[in-house]
Structure 1
C-alpha cells in the first residue's frame, strides 16, 4: 500500500481572509524533536495571519506529535483561572485540549463548586479523570459530531488555552466551543501572540513557532473580529497577564538541543530563565509580551 503524504498541497491564499498577498515569514526545522524536514510559515500581508504552508496532513501531525512534559506551573495556571473570578461562579466548565488536565486541577482551587470536564484527542483525558482531575473526560476532538452532540449548551465556561494554534481549522474549533456554551456563557482563550517582538528577535528559536506542531498564529485583532462576527461580546483582552516568562530559556534549550550540546544546556538555560523572570515585569508591558488572553461572552 502506498505511503500517505505528510503534507497537503501548498496553498496560494490566506486561510483566514483569502488574500493571495503572502510572504514567507519563517523556515525552520523541527528543533524540539529533531525529526527530519524543513517547515515554512507564511504570513498574509493583508490580515497578518500566519500559517504553516504547506500544512501537515493528519497523518503528518501524528508523525510529528509530541506530548508536553513540562512541569506544571500551578501559580501561572491559577492566575489564568483567576481571570474568571470577576464573573458569577460557573456550575460547569469544559477545558478543550486539556491533556493531563493540569489547568482544571489548578482552577478547582478557586472554583470549588464547579464541575470540570475535559476533552482531548488523546487518552490522557481519561487518565486525568481516573486521577480525579476531571469530572468527565471525552477522548477525541471537540469538533467531532459524536462528542459535540452530547456537550451542546452544557457549559458556563469553555477554556481553550494554547489550543487553537495546534488545530487545522481554528474557526471550526471556535464554532464548536460556542456550541458547547450556554447562552451568556464565557469563552476563555489564550494564544501565542505572533506580533510579539520576541518572534522577530529570536527568529526560529522563538518557542511559540514550535514547528511543525503549531499550524496557525492568529493575531489578536483577527480573533476579536471573528468572535464579534459570531455574536460574542469581548469582555476581557489582556496581553500583560498572558505573558509567559520563558522565551530566553526556551531558546537556549532549543539551541543546545539543535547543536547537540546537552552538557551545555544547564549552563545556558539556568541564567536565561533567571533573566526571563527578571525582565518579565517590564516585558509584559511592552510588545515583547508573548501571548494574549481573551474572554468573550456568548450572546
Structure 2
C-alpha cells in the first residue's frame, strides 16, 4: 500500500513509459481481467453463496472494484468474479517490483521476528533443503539461514525480484517457475516447503497443496501461514480491513477447511497456531488504508487517470501529519490487543505445520 505521506521519487521517463503501458492495458478492455462470475463455492461446491463485501484496490488504488463472496455451507471466502492471469498481472505490477520494490522491501524487513517464529515451529533436525514459495525478495530465506546455516534454500516467485535474494546471499537457487510446474521435476526433493501468505493468492489452492506434497520427502514438513477470515476485525473494519488485501487475495480459507484439505492430500496436521500468529497492526493498518483511499495519492502513480496536483499533495501531507497522534494511539491499542489475542483463536493470521505422510506403494 503506497500510504506514506512522502512518496518516493519517480523517474520521469520511466513513469511516462509505465503510464503508456497502463493506458494500453485499460484500453484493451477490463473484461479480460475477470473470469465469469461463479454461482457455487470453489471449495466445497455448495450453491449457498452470497456477496459478503465489495472492495477497492486497497494496496495501490488502481481502478476497479472487487467482490468477496462467502459460502454459507463451509465458510470459505472467495473473490467473485475472480481475476484472470491477465488481471492479476495488471494489479500485481509495481506492487512488489518496479515502483513498489523498495516500499515492499522496507515492510518485509520488519517481519524478521515473525520469520524467526516460523522457524521455531519446526523443531527437530535442521532441514537439508528448504523451498520457499511466493518468496518475493527472499527475506524469509535470508532470516532463516542465519538460524539454519547448513540448510540449502530454494525460492520460487513469478517476479524477477527473487533473483535479488541470490545476489544478496539469502537464496541458493531462485526460479520464476509456477509451483505446480516446478513440482513435476523435483518430486521428493525437499525437507521443508514454506508457503507464507501464498495460498490466498492462487486460483486453486488445492492444486498448490498437491504440488507441495509432491515436492516433500516422506516426513517432510509444509509450513503454511494464511490470513484468518475469522478475525473479528474483518467485520469491524469493513472494506478497510487489511486482511482483504484486495484484489490480490483470491481466497480466504478458514483454518478448519485447510486442515481437512491437508489431511485428504497426504499430510498429517501437526500444529495449528491461531492467536499466536496474530500481527499487531489491525487498527493502524485500517486507518492507513482508509486514509490512502480517501486522500489524494502520494505521487502521480502511472495508473492514475491524471497527475496529482501540488495542492492535493499539500493536503495529503497536512492530513497525514495531523493523523499522527491517532495512528500512534491505534498502534498502541494494537500492541495491547495483541497480548490478549495471542492466547485466543481470533488473530488476523494462522499458521499450520503439516508433515507429509509416507506415500502408499502402488499395488504390484
How would you bin the TM-score normalised by the shorter chain?
over 0.9
Q: Larger deviation: 67-76 or 273-282?
A: 67-76
TM superposition shift of 1:241? 2.3
Query: TM-score, normalised on structure 1?
Result: 0.95
Match of 2:351 in 1: 293
Secondary structure at 1:143's aligned position in 2? helix
CA 1:184–1:287 in structure 2 vs 1: closer, same or farther (change >3 Å)?
closer
2:97 corresponds to 1:55? no
TM superposition shift of 1:2? 5.9
Q: Larger deviation: 207-216 or 284-293?
A: 284-293
Gaps of 5+ in 2: 1-26, 97-103, 296-315, 358-364
Choose between structure 1 and 2: higher strand proportion. Answer: 1
TM superposition shift of 1:32? 2.0
CA 1:59–1:208 in structure 2 vs 1: closer, same or farther (change >3 Å)?
same
1:106-185 to structure 2, matched below 5 A, reads 106-144=143-181, 147-185=182-220
Match of 2:253 in 1: 218
Computed over aligned residues only, the root mean square deviation of the Cα atoms, in angstroms, reads 1.6
CA 1:206–1:126 in structure 2 vs 1: closer, same or farther (change >3 Å)?
same
CA distance in 1, matches of 2:286, 2:210: 34
Match of 2:319 in 1: 264
TM superposition shift of 1:40? 0.4
2:276–2:347: 8 Å Cα contact kept in structure 1?
A: no
TM superposition shift of 1:196? 1.0
2:267 corresponds to 1:229? no
Which aligned runs of 4 or more in structure 1 are off by greater than 4 angstroms?
A: 1-4
2:58–2:247: 8 Å Cα contact kept in structure 1?
A: no
1:202 pairs with one of 220, 237, 260: 237
Choose between structure 1 and 2: higher helix proportion. Answer: 2
- Alignment deviations for residues 69-117 of structure 1 (CA, whole Å, 9 cap, x no partner): 4141211211121111x22211110000001111111111221211111
- Alignment deviations for residues 185-212 of structure 1 (CA, whole Å, 9 cap, x no partner): 0000000010111111111111010111
Query: TM-score, normalised on structure 2?
Result: 0.78
**Based on CA coordinates, which of the two structures has the bigger radius of gyration?**
2
